[in-house]
Amino acid sequence: MTSPGIITDIDGVMSSDEDSDTSTSLFCDRKIIVANFLPLHTSKDQTNGTWCFTWDEDSLLLQLKDGFSSDTEVLYIGSLKVDVDVSEQEEVAQKLLEDYRCIPTFLSPDLQKKFYHGFCKQQLWPLFHYMLPICLDKGDLFDRSLFQAYVSANKIFADKVVEVINSEEDYVWVHDYHLMLLPTFLRRRLNQVRLGFFLHSPFPSSEIYRTLPVRDEILRALLNADLIGFQTFDYARHFLSCCSRMLGLNYESKRGYIGLEYFGRTVNIKILSVGVHIGRIQSVLNFPETVTKVQEIEQKFKGKKLLLGVDDMDIFKGISLKLLGLELLLERYPKLRGEVVLVQIVNPARSMGKDVNEAREEAISIAKRINLSYGALGYDPVLLIDNPIPFYEKIAFYVAAECCIVNAVRDGMNLVPYEYIVCRQGTEEMDKRRGVGLELTRTSTLIVSEFVGCSPSLSGAFRVNPWSIDDVADALYQATDLSVSEKQLRHEKHYRYVSSHHVAYWARSFDQDLERACKDHYNRRCCAIGFGLGFRVVALSPSFRKLSFNHIISSYKKTHRRAIFLDYDGTLIPEASINKTPSADIVSILNNLCSDPKNTVFIVSGRGRTSLGEWFAPCDALGIAAEHGYFIRWTKATDWESSSSVVDSDWKKIAEPVMRLYTETTDGSYIEPKESALVWHHQYADPDFGSCQAKELLDHLESVLANEPVVVRRGQHIVEVKPPGISKGLVVEKLIRTLVNSGKPPDLVMCIGDDRSDEDMFESINSTSSSNLFPAVPEVFACTVGQKPSKAKYYLEDSGEVIRLLQGIAAVSRPKNKITHNQVSFEGPHEVDD
């Protein structure tokens, strides 16, 4: 915190003239904060018609500036909470930029209604708080037109960011669920933008989130950020589960940081709850009017146990459940009647709708019923304040209340408990004004719902299930029955946490993690692929590029001995193809390549030798390495060679029953038996359960096979048991060594594959070619299929391009064939270089 008293003067970053302002943006660190609303209060002078603006000092967006260094320039982008006429927008925008460093996004009233009150508040907000539109009178069904408004609004925000950003130096921090598509629109236009996103609301479990018709679009948009922040681990866990179940992405934790690999980029996950601004609260505590109000409240409720609730009028805040808990408390414990008072402050609703009105009416009705049943002359158990009150008055209630209860059924964070703790700690100045000595014991008692984001950090609070009225009533009774020493211990524990995890700590921590996540942005080459909301950036090695036909054909013609290694599934035929048998065209191309005496051509596959031998029976001169090289056949006329001199399969009798046990208990899994190996597949099982079972199976197999001549390996959706020393990389190295030792060292090596097992092949070829094995360094063309991070230097888009490339090479081997333009034309992706 920069000061204990007030928020740092944000105007301090401003310059007195335009030239100095320009130099500030050039030489100072700059953060662009993007949120739905600007942290401003807006009013219009009715006498002269001019717009007036002041900072909203209670806004988190303004307070987080204290987490940045003093020389950091902060720009805010967002909407005003009022409608500004089109004729005035330019003047207002200029004033806001010059005086407040704010850039307004003027949305039309119709767009604002559909975007904010429509899609955000009627569809995203309920869904993220676990409310599904089960029937028409209990929620709004998905409306495509509202989503289009959401898209349009996010595009407008993106336009404003692009207008002011210096993409090489600025950091952009996007806030909350209103702008979840913004990362895609920014990444599309600024591929290397340094971009963080923080979700202040809950993120629902995958069972809830997957009901959203645009679920994939929103997930992919968020993944275009470099850092995604969540209030609690539960919210982050739900997000990661959605990425796993819907997009097939896996995450891992490295040295305390969680990362998602997404097309070569690591999307970092940040888990840290927001804090409060201690200085702001302490400054209000010192106001004379606050002290006066505290004394007034203490006098009014003298001799009473004052309980406090502060909530927005919202269907998720659990106000009615809280009142029902109090009602049950008074029913069970008559001695508390006349002693306990609940002051329920209701903040204005942030959205409109029938549900909000019903919640208000219900709360008022229950409060009246309690007061009629258990009240007396001069005593009402419930004081419902259903009108806006000044912040200092709310602070005064915090100071006076013995217990604060937050009973929301679902809430992203809720800072009310933190504010209450800071107020109960007080300040020296306030104590002097109240005539209280330093020896005053600081106490506080909290009752917190299990379903609010702040609950995990408040270990000294009474945690309740808000849906259980009995739980709430019991907690209220325990809170009123605590000893002073117990209240003091709980308060001290909470204050230590709140005072150290304040809003500046949160902002600084997020900023540091964002810098770390973006540190290698300019060491990578980016390819932009995809359309619409499916857009994404693939981060690649600077040397990774598309395989040029002219390049390889030129090298092919110059060389005299060539080794060609081809994967099968996903390379020669599409991965999604149902019919795995090679077509007549593939067989013809392979025969043409093999007919050239300068070529040695091998199919290197994980498939069994029986199927590969049958499929490629017409190819007499084709070499085959089956089961990742366990079996090798140089030509059809030669016998199969095994990489192991003694084939001992006794280990299968141990491994197979164990795998069968896990197959029976894991729906969607199956066993693939091979001559050399056993493979347990779980790609069709539940992602979480399948992964958990795979880990258990790995441990189980390693234990029972500890003394057997096999290795147990876990891969993508598989657990495999096989003899040691078997991989595509090792077999390719073995084949090349055989060629070199027979006096036929290749001067061109080409290898094409598409999956993880082929990466071993690429790595082996790259290392072997640079070793002393060859008399002269050969030209190497290691090529992966699809744009993705790879150890290969080149890529082709799909199996269709692989076939066309091989057709062109085969035609060169037969000069009588004319190479047509169609055979050699390839269109690469849009590339973005450093």
Q: Answer whether residue 831 is part of any domain.
A: no
User: pLDDT per residue over 573-620, tens digit each?
Assistant: 998 788 889 999 999 999 999 999 999 999 999 888 999 999 999 999
Say if CB 572 and CB 799 are below 8 A apart: yes
Please tell me the distance from the alpha carbon of residue 38 to that of residue 54, in angstroms, as a whole number. Answer: 11
CA distances, 539 to each of 192, 339, 390, 470, 544 (Å): 10, 65, 51, 54, 10
Q: Answer whether residue 80 is part of any domain.
A: yes
pLDDT at position 824: 35
Question: Which of 607, 567, 555 minimizes the C-alpha distance to 784?
Answer: 567
Average pLDDT, the chain: 88
- In the predicted model, what is the mean pLDDT of residues 767-794? 86
- In the predicted model, what is the mean pLDDT of residues 790-817? 84
Please tell me the distance from the alpha carbon of residue 688 to that of residue 706, in angstroms, as a whole number. Answer: 27
Detail the DSSP E strand segments found in 80-137.
Answer: 102-104
Contacts of 658 (CB under 8 A, 6+ apart): 697, 700, 701, 704
705 & 734 share domain = no
Please tell me the distance from the alpha carbon of residue 733 to that of residue 628, in angstroms, as a whole number. Answer: 12
pLDDT at position 192: 86
User: pLDDT per residue over 57-94, tens digit each?
Assistant: 999 999 999 999 989 999 999 999 999 999 999 999 99
Residue 137 in this model has a pLDDT that exceeds 70: no
Residue 423 in this model has a pLDDT that exceeds 50: yes
pLDDT at position 644: 63
* Alpha helices by DSSP H, 678-830: 687-704, 728-741, 756-769, 799-813, 821-824
Residue 640 DSSP label: P
pLDDT band at residue 14 using 50, 70 and 90 as cut-offs: very low
Please tell me the distance from the alpha carbon of residue 660 to that of residue 180, in angstroms, as a whole number. Answer: 44
CB under 8 A, 24+ apart: contacts of 248-255: 248/687, 249/223, 250/691
- In the predicted model, what is the mean pLDDT of residues 803-818? 77
286 & 412 share domain = yes
The residue type found at 769 is S
pLDDT at position 24: 41
Please tell me the distance from the alpha carbon of residue 252 to that of residue 546, in angstroms, as a whole number. Answer: 30
Q: Answer whether residue 579 is part of any domain.
A: yes
- In the predicted model, what is the mean pLDDT of residues 358-383? 94
CA dihedral (477, 481, 482, 484) positive or negative: positive
Q: What is the extent of the structural domain holding 713?
A: 649-722
715 & 790 share domain = no
User: pLDDT per residue over 384-396, tens digit each?
Assistant: 999 999 999 999 9
What percentage of residues in the chain have a pLDDT greater than 70?
A: 91
653 & 631 share domain = no
pLDDT at position 522: 65
pLDDT at position 533: 79
pLDDT at position 460: 94
CATH number of the domain within which 384 lies? 3.40.50.2000
- Rg (C-alpha) for the chain, rounded Å, is 34
What is the DSSP track for 195-234? EEEE--S----HHHHTTSTTHHHHHHHHTTSSEEEESSHH
Query: Is residue 658 within a helix (H) or strand (E), and if so which, with residue range?
Result: helix 650-665
Question: Which of 297, 828, 188, 240 minimizes the C-alpha distance to 532?
Answer: 188
Residue 817 in this model has a pLDDT that exceeds 60: no
pLDDT at position 820: 37
109 & 216 share domain = yes
Q: Answer whether residue 587 is part of any domain.
A: yes
Give the count of domains, the chain: 4
- In the predicted model, what is the mean pLDDT of residues 250-254? 84
Please tell me the distance from the alpha carbon of residue 586 to that of residue 604, in angstroms, as a whole number. Answer: 15
Residue 139 in this model has a pLDDT that exceeds 60: no
CATH number of the domain within which 628 lies? 3.40.50.1000
Detail the DSSP E strand segments found in 482-524.
Answer: none
Report residue 654: phi and psi, to 5°: -90, -45
pLDDT at position 128: 95
pLDDT at position 506: 97
Q: Answer whether residue 141 is part of any domain.
A: yes
205 & 338 share domain = no
Of 500, 530, 558, the residue that ends a domain is 500
pLDDT at position 831: 40
553 & 678 share domain = no
pLDDT band at residue 776 using 50, 70 and 90 as cut-offs: confident
pLDDT at position 430: 92
- Tell me how long the chain is: 834
In the chain, the N- to C-terminal Cα span, in Å, equals 38
Of 271, 292, 323, the residue that ends a domain is 271
User: pLDDT per residue over 296-345, tens digit each?
Assistant: 999 999 999 999 999 999 889 999 999 999 999 999 999 999 999 999 99
Phi-psi sector, 414: left (phi>0), alpha (psi -120 to 50), beta: left
732 & 763 share domain = yes
228 & 293 share domain = no
pLDDT at position 334: 95
Q: Answer whether residue 505 is part of any domain.
A: no
pTM of structure: 0.80
Report residue 557: phi and psi, to 5°: -70, -35
User: pLDDT per residue over 466-487, tens digit each?
Assistant: 999 999 999 999 999 999 999 9
Question: Which of 439, 363, 430, 367 minimizes the C-alpha distance to 400?
Answer: 430
- The burial class, CB within 10 Å (0-12 / 13-18 / 19+), for 229 is buried
Q: Answer whether residue 331 is part of any domain.
A: yes
Say if CB 635 and CB 569 are below 8 A apart: no
321 & 464 share domain = yes
CATH number of the domain within which 699 lies? 3.30.70.1020
344 & 231 share domain = no
β pairing state of 257-262 and 251-254: antiparallel
Of 707, 722, 737, the residue that ends a domain is 722
Please tell me the distance from the alpha carbon of residue 700 to that of residue 598, in angstroms, as a whole number. Answer: 49
Q: Answer whether residue 692 is part of any domain.
A: yes
- For the ranges 224-228, 244-248, 528-532, 546-550, the maximum mean pLDDT occurs at 224-228
pLDDT band at residue 136 using 50, 70 and 90 as cut-offs: low
190 & 218 share domain = yes
Please tell me the distance from the alpha carbon of residue 241 to that of residue 430, in angstroms, as a whole number. Answer: 48
The residue type found at 546 is K
Residue 225 in this model has a pLDDT that exceeds 80: yes
- For the ranges 17-31, 370-384, 674-688, the maximum mean pLDDT occurs at 370-384
What is the CA angle 81-85-91, rounded to 5? 90
